[in-house]
């Protein structure tokens, strides 16, 4: 992992500042003699080693796979990738030159355009490289503009993707799409929007392509470039869904307008790394009293202590330190609005009600983390006062998505990101032709 990090920032992969100790040494009561035996190497690495500039990490070269038929080609390609630690472990479609060229019809941007470097390994993500990974994930040309915008958001320095790609936390990017493009590409915003759906294949394909890019270009291989202890099922396809803009209360703006300032009707994709999610029962709103009960129920879930809320890397200034994404089904959102709850008022209530008592923070926090957070996040955190999960209510992300009824809400807690990013989606000149072909292949849009 350290070698990946060194090469990702432009140094040679050799990293003598690091000496690898046996993992067993970190178990209580273990033998600590390796430290004494190798102390000279550690001292040299910290005092005598000089970094050397390395070459840019280009995307992998093209490979040739031979077979007598397409079935054999698919089998041989997947076997090769498994041997060479490529892909995600699930079957992949061959990214033949013909298929990649077809995917590239989804953009007017030249194929050699650089989108960014995917860390920790730091390989270059060109438009063509994105198309290759989308082809392997089973994608279509009309998905490519969303994928490009998603990667542009991920490599935005504010998102610190090198952290969520490499950390021990089981973090994954959540992507929220707004605007007309969501319906154009059949991206789910309703029932089951976070999971599989045969009529809405775009989310799984785009999310899996993002994961393949993280693996193949970023080197986020478990135990090597990514030290996520558990990983999590969401890492297969990440989470890609659309906001249910048809279900928004009349007085609520969509996420990309209320949080990021885009004009309503703009097609965008927002990215925020989350480290876990919780389904919240009893999110029904039928009376003013049940509206208040629902908000208290949600706030109790949000207030579960999580030191990612207060990590220095997450930031804690206004506009930063987003604590997570709250999903409200349209029935819940409209019920709240009916009883006078604006989105701003909901955020203010949840921010105040989700504060964590200092005794709870102190009891579950390592002393050095407690001290660091108190010093880093003045004046937002103080001893003997309840700690808010973010500096200001505006930092909470609220998205209307899911089924039409109420009954449940969903909290996606921050992983290791400093702040979310949102990028506009640029459509090619042949967009309508691509959609017409998709209708022919997949049938009428839902």
For residue 319, what pLDDT is reported? Answer: 79
Question: What is the pLDDT at residue 358?
Answer: 95
pLDDT in tens, 393-418: 999 999 999 988 889 999 999 998 77
List Cβ neighbours of 5 (8 Å cut-off, separation of 6 or more): 15, 119, 120, 162, 166
Range with top average pLDDT, 21-35, 91-105, 372-386: 91-105
Q: Distance between CA atoms of 172 and 380, rounded to whole angstroms? A: 27
Q: Which long-range contacts (CB under 8 A, 24 or more apart) does 224-229 make?
A: 224/1, 224/4, 225/1, 225/4, 225/120, 225/121, 225/165, 225/166, 226/1, 226/165, 226/166, 226/167, 227/1, 227/166, 227/167, 227/168, 228/167, 228/168, 228/169, 228/170, 228/171, 229/168, 229/169, 229/170
Indicate the pLDDT class of residue 437, thresholds 50, 70 and 90. Answer: very high
Per-residue confidence band for 379, with pLDDT thresholds at 50, 70 and 90: confident
- Residue 273: band (very low, low, confident or very high) from pLDDT cuts 50, 70, 90: very high
Whole-number pLDDT of residue 33 = 80
* pLDDT at position 1 over 60: no
The confidence score (pLDDT) of residue 38 equals: 77
Rounded-to-integer distance, Cα 390 and Cα 398, Å: 14
pLDDT value of position 20: 64
Q: Which residue has the higher pLDDT, 147 or 13?
A: 147
Per mean pLDDT, which range of 36-45, 316-325, 357-366, 434-443 is the poorest? 36-45
Band (147; pLDDT cuts 50, 70, 90)? very high
Predicted structure pTM score:
0.90
* Exposure string over 346-378, b if 16+ CB within 10 A, otherwise e: bbebbbeebbbebeebeeebeeeebeebeeebe
| Model pLDDT, residue 322 | 93
pLDDT at 6 exceeding the cut of 80: no
How many CA atoms lie less than 13 Å away from 165 in the CB half-sphere?
31
Mean pLDDT of 18-43: 74
pLDDT of residue 57: 57
Residue 52: its pLDDT value, please?
65
The pLDDT of residue 321 is: 86
Q: Determine contact, residues 275/331, Cβ cutoff 8 Å.
A: no
**CA 23 vs CA 26, 39, 196, 226, 360: distances in Å:** 6, 17, 38, 16, 32
The CA-to-CA distance between both ends of the chain, in Å, stands at 44
The per-residue pLDDT for 214 is 95
Share of the chain above pLDDT 70, in %: 91
The reported pLDDT for the residue numbered 62 is 77
Q: Quickly tell me which residue has 């803009």 as its tokens.
A: 245
CB 232 within 8 A of CB 120: no
Is 3 a residue whose pLDDT tops 70? no
What pLDDT, on the 0 to 100 scale, is given for residue 9?
55
Q: Which of 6-15, 31-40, 306-315 is the least confident region?
A: 6-15
Please give the average per-residue pLDDT across 292-316, as a whole number. Answer: 89
Whole-angstrom CA distances from 304 to 193, 291, 309, 386, 410 are 25, 21, 10, 13, 14
Q: What is the pLDDT of residue 64?
A: 86
pLDDT band at 107 (very low <50, low <70, confident <90, very high): very high
Q: Is 155 left (phi over 0), alpha (psi -120 to 50) or beta?
A: alpha
Token representation of residue 362:
């102190």
> Percent of the chain having pLDDT more than 90?
66
Residues 6+ apart with CB under 8 A from 343: 252, 253, 258, 398
Structure token pair of residue 425:
């989606």
In DSSP notation, 392-411 reads SGGGSEEEE-S-SS-EEEEE
pLDDT at 303 over 90: yes
- At residue 51, the pLDDT reads 65
The predicted structure's pLDDT at residue 86: 84
The HSE-up count of residue 281 (CA atoms within 13 Å, CB side) is 0
Q: Which structure tokens are listed for 239?
A: 């989470």
Poorest-pLDDT segment among 51-65, 132-146, 298-312, 336-350:
51-65
Query: Could you tell me which residue, 189 or 30, shows the higher pLDDT?
Result: 189
Let me know: does 301 contact 411? Beta carbons within 8 Å.
Answer: yes
For the segment 380-386, the average pLDDT, to the nearest whole number, is 94
Output 116 or 307, whichever has higher pLDDT.
Answer: 116
Length of the chain equals: 446
Pairing relationship of beta strands 239-242 and 172-178 according to DSSP bridges: parallel
When pLDDT is averaged across residues 92-96 and rounded to a whole number, the result is: 94
In the three-class reduction of DSSP (H, G, I as helix; E, B as strand; rest coil), residue 424 is classed as strand
Per-residue pLDDT, 8: 53
């Amino acid at each position: 992992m350290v070698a990946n990090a060194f090469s990702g920032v432009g140094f040679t992969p050799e990293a003598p500042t690091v000496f690898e100790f046996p993992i067993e040494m970190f178990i209580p009561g273990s033998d600590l003699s390796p430290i004494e035996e190798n102390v000279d190497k550690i001292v040299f690495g910290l005092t005598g080693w000089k970094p050397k500039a390395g070459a840019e990490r280009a995307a992998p070269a093209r490979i040739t796979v031979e077979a007598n038929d397409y079935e054999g080609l698919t089998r041989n390609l997947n076997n090769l990738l498994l041997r060479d630690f490529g892909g995600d472990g699930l079957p992949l479609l061959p990214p033949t030159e013909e298929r990649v060229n077809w995917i590239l019809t989804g953009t007017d941007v030249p194929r050699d355009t650089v989108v960014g470097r995917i860390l920790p390994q730091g390989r270059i993500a060109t438009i063509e490289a994105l198309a290759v990974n989308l082809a392997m994930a089973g994608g279509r040309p009309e998905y490519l503009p969303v994928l490009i915008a998603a990667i542009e958001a991920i490599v935005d320095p504010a998102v610190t993707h090198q952290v969520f790609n490499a950390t021990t936390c089981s973090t994954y990017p959540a992507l929220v799409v707004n605007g007309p493009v969501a319906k154009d590409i059949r991206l789910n915003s309703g029932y089951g929007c976070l999971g599989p759906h045969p009529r809405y294949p775009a989310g799984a394909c785009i999310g899996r392509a993002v994961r393949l890019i993280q693996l193949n270009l970023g080197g986020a291989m478990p135990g090597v470039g990514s030290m996520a202890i558990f990983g999590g099922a969401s890492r297969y396809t990440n989470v890609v869904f659309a906001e249910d803009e048809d279900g928004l209360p009349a007085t609520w703006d969509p996420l990309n307008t209320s949080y990021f300032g885009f004009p309503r009707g703009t097609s965008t994709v927002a990215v925020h790394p989350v480290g876990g999610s919780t389904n919240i029962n009893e999110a029904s709103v039928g009376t003013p009293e049940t509206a208040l009960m629902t908000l208290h129920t949600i706030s109790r879930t949000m207030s579960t202590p999580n030191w990612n809320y207060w990590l220095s890397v997450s930031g804690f200034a206004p506009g930063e330190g987003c604590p997570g994404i709250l999903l409200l089904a349209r029935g819940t959102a409209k019920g709240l609005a009916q009883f006078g709850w604006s989105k701003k008022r909901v955020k203010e209530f949840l921010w105040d009600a989700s504060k964590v008592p200092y005794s709870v923070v102190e009891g579950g926090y390592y002393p050095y983390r407690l001290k660091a957070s108190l010093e880093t996040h003045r004046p937002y955190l103080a001893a003997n006062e309840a700690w808010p999960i973010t500096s200001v209510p505006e930092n909470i992300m609220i998205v209307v998505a899911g089924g039409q009824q109420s009954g449940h809400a969903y909290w996606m807690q921050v992983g290791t990101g400093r702040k979310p990013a949102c990028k506009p989606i640029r459509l090619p000149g042949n967009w309508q032709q691509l959609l017409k072909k998709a209708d022919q292949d997949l049938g009428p849009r839902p």
